[in-house]
Chain A
Amino acid sequence: MQKTVLVVGAGPAGLAAAAGVAASGAQAVLVEKAAKLGGTPILSGYAKLVPSGEWARDAMGRMVKRVEDSKNVTIHKETKVTKLTGEAGNFTATLSNGKTVECASVILATGFTHFDSINKPEWGFGSFEDVVTTTQVEQMVAAGKVACPSDGRVPERVAILLCVGSRDRQIGREWCSKICCTVSTNLAMEIKELSPTTDVFIYYMDIRTFGLYEDRFYWKSQEEFKTKFVKARIAEVTRSPDGRLLVKGEDTLVKRPIVIPMDMVVHAVGMDPNEDNPEIARVFGIGLEKHGFIDRAEHYTNTCGTTRRGIYAVGAALAPETIDDSISQGTAAALRAVADLDALVQKSA
């Protein structure tokens, strides 16, 4: 009988899951494919997190330290799970570093992959240096300077295009990535803080700053930081003879085509299923739902369950998810996994 839970992925969800398992007195084995713990917020160099406003390195740093300091957590970095045999209560996982882990249950916190803007070539990413992604602007903000990559000038105008890689049947992304609206309104404020004279325009179809993000991000960005919201889905980004970018589209509120000069265009990239999901599905013997995220079990009584007993999934592995909710799900899955251990112990008694 195992008293160990295997946690795969050391981002916000996985770190929360490992900490939860450890706090309950069980053993957690945390497997992370990267050389660093912290997941996407750290690996992609995010600046301040939504909604706390805390720097990613500080917030994630605390989560990492809590797990590293725990005697109940064993960490394997630069490691993948290559094979899983057995069944709920008695799995054996083989790791890419040659070790094996005996565990009763598995929590998959394998996260997502940022949409690659190259797949929407009409929006200029890869063709024009000054077309960047939200991830790149996060990195600029973290470094304390917003500048056009082409020549280092501070942009007079920035256009943020929402729904890049989301809500787009043309490229098979029929989901809303949930967090890009809030992240974009927040980035607009951060850009204005670094460069008060820069005008920021957000091109949107809808603004989906759900729950308390509404006034804390959308309203604040518009009312205090004068972010301009333009209802248009941009059709094309090109370059004008003077080297500036031109965004072309239809402003649906004035019912007129627009061709507006901008200095920098930012793609608010969506959340794709983790590019490793087919491999993950094969190794762990679980199903993927139609978009390619990990498929859920019935949620009401089998919270965080996958299509295979004893294997749980949390955070952006299941669908586009916020950092805060990923952490909550990680903690919830820890309870499920530990409860499984206890049930097995009781059953055998």
Chain B
Amino acid sequence: MAIHEKTLIDADRIQTSDNLVLDGVDVSGHWNTMVLPRYLTDYDTDFARQIRTFSGGENVHRCWQCGSCTNSCTVYAQNTDFNPRYWIYLTNLGLKNDILKDKDIIWTCVSCNRCTNICPKDVKPEGVMKALAHWLEEEGHTPETRSSIFDNEFLGQVYETGRIEDTRVLINFLRKTNQSITPPWLIELGKRMTKHLPLGFLTHMGLHLVFKPRTKSWGRTGEVLREYVREQKEIARKARAMPKEAVHV
């Protein structure tokens, strides 16, 4: 069955089945294609509040849709699907499904902050982009980002020893992100370094890699830090899951 305007319809709204029986009538064949309606049937009235609990999203509800952010956007100039004004509107009405359609480009914000500088209502759109990206990641809609993997590796070493060892952070990061641990730029770095024969430094580094020394008097500091961060994350998660927004919150 030809639907001539199929190109105008979102692919996920077109449903085709080989065999279809509706109300006892077999409509397989010519009439097997159904188009789901495109109207919006509800708002998630709690969604804007959730996004406000992420750093950068605090002012999202202030938006009045002037479009200054999108108009000034560096990324929009390259890709007109990148539309901060639109995502902010979807956020405020809680049209989550439509935000999810763009989950793979929201993170491409380059944080140039032109939007935040021009916004007449101080919405801080650049912050909203970050908040949305973090929400997408936390909810598992997007994979854990490389920056989160890096942060976790970095913090893990701090908890453990009260310091970081650059080489170990780098190698573990490359491993965890399924990258080669000998990328050309690293080889080049090593080559140039050995030219100067920094024997003391290399020995120092080698010993640190093997023995993982801790900062003096580190004691239980790492445990306390780890517990504090865990608590804060828990508080933030609970705040997000709060059932209903009250005024002035």
Query: Residues of A at under 8 Å CB distance from B?
Result: 157, 192-193, 196-197, 199, 201, 207, 219, 222-226, 228-231, 251, 253-254, 256-261
**A228 and B93: CB pair below 8 A?**
yes
**A157 and B45: CB pair below 8 A?**
yes
**A192 and B247: CB pair below 8 A?**
yes
* B76 CB–A CB distance under 8 Å: no
Given contacts A226-B245, A228-B45, A254-B89, 14 further A-B contacts (CB under 8 A): A193-B247, A196-B247, A224-B248, A228-B43, A253-B65, A254-B40, A256-B39, A257-B39, A257-B40, A258-B40, A258-B41, A259-B39, A260-B42, A260-B43
Residues of B within 8 A of A225 (CB): 247
**B247 and A254: CB pair below 8 A?**
no
Do A197 and B40 form a contact, CB below 8 Å, given A223-B62, A228-B92? no
Instruction: State which of B39, B62, B93 has its C-beta within 8 Å of the C-beta of A230.
Output: B93
- Chain A residue nearest to B62 (CB atoms) is A223
**B38 and A257: CB pair below 8 A?**
yes
* B98 CB–A CB distance under 8 Å: yes
Do A259 and B40 form a contact, CB below 8 Å, given A199-B45, A254-B89, A254-B90? yes
Do A256 and B64 form a contact, CB below 8 Å, given A196-B246, A226-B245, A228-B92? no
Interface readout for B44-83 with A: 1 if CB under 8 Å, 0 if not?
A: 0100100000000000011011000000000000000000
Interface readout for B219-249 with A: 1 if CB under 8 Å, 0 if not?
A: 0000000000000000000000000111110
What 8 A-B pairs come out closest when comparing CB atoms? A257-B39, A196-B247, A196-B246, A258-B40, A199-B45, A192-B247, A197-B244, A223-B62
- Say what secondary structure dominates the interface of chain B: loop
Residues of B within 8 A of A228 (CB): 43, 45, 92-93
Q: How far is the CB of B128 from chain A (nearest CB, A)?
A: 15
**B40 and A222: CB pair below 8 A?**
no
**A256 and B247: CB pair below 8 A?**
no
CA distance A231 to B245 in the complex (A): 23
* B86 CB–A CB distance under 8 Å: yes
CA distance A222 to B122 in the complex (A): 13
**A226 and B39: CB pair below 8 A?**
no
Do A256 and B90 form a contact, CB below 8 Å, given A196-B247, A197-B246, A226-B61? no
Residues of A within 8 A of B45 (CB): 157, 199, 228
Residues of B within 8 A of A229 (CB): 64-65
Do A197 and B93 form a contact, CB below 8 Å, given A259-B41, A261-B42? no
**A254 and B65: CB pair below 8 A?**
no
CA distance A196 to B246 in the complex (A): 5
- Chain A residue nearest to B85 (CB atoms) is A253
**B247 and A260: CB pair below 8 A?**
no
Residues of B within 8 A of A260 (CB): 40-43
CA distance A63 to B248 in the complex (A): 35
Instruction: State which of A196, A219, A253, A261 has its C-beta within 8 Å of the C-beta of B89.
Output: A253
